[in-house]
Amino acid sequence: MYELAAVILVLIFAVLFAYVVAPLVQLAERPIRIATRRWRLPRGVAIVLIYLLMAGILSIGGALLLPSAGEQVDDMIASAPAYAQSVVAWERDWSGYYDRLRIPLELRRNIDQSVLAAGQAAVASSRASLFALAGALSNLPWLMLIPILAFFLLKDAVSFRRSFLTALPHRARLHGHRLLEDLNATLGAYIRAQLLACAVAGIVCGIGFAVLGVPYPLLLGALAGALEFIPLVGPLVVAIVASIVAALHAPMLVLWTAGFLGTFRVVEDYVIYPRLIRRG
């Protein structure tokens, strides 16, 4: 049962990957004029060319970013005891703040429970992300099948569509063709827009955290990009995690972090994402 689920998941990711790569393949397939003749790359060659280009970009990006990411992970592990002491000191200061304001006991409990629940949710989300990453690395052979399957999906997409339409009754073929065209356009636009939104969120948040001085901007930016795919919950978890990290570094930094994330969320949801959908 587990292997069947893994196969289905790989097929789904292969379809998603094919939708992402398809516009680039179409661009590479465009005919070019050399002298008096028009040349056009075969579809298989165009796909391989795009794969090589993407592999080169990923290799360069990994060579540039992985050392910094490794340093930030090491620094985070080394700073864990200091962060624990900061939490203890923060809890002591928080209790004194309660006493100065003479906050009722019931309200104190509600505030403490809310803060505790938010912290537990952030820790659980971070732990789940680490487990998911570890699981993805353990299933690396399965993940390597994604671009391979996507290659055949891209190469034989026309044949697959023709076979599907041929299997339909003659009267339903025109309707089926239109349905496939609409479904393909809508699904492709959504997937590409969603992945571009993840990339925008990761890059903007990473740069923003670095400018504000929030620790581990590369890791937090990567987390923001990955969780952007999950509506509502993903950005909320990023805000909680980033606020906790900022608070442990400098309490006033929380306000700047929250303001930055709030502003970015408004711009992302009402300006960037609608344009990505329209252009997808």
> Considering the entire predicted model, what is its pTM?
0.70
Which pLDDT score is estimated for 209?
93
Domains of the chain, by residue range, sit at: 2-279
Which pLDDT score is estimated for 7?
75
Which pLDDT score is estimated for 10?
81
Which pLDDT score is estimated for 133?
57
Which pLDDT score is estimated for 263?
93
**pLDDT less than 50: residues of the chain:** none
Which pLDDT score is estimated for 51?
92
- Name the nearest CA neighbour of 75 among 219, 213, 252, 256: 219
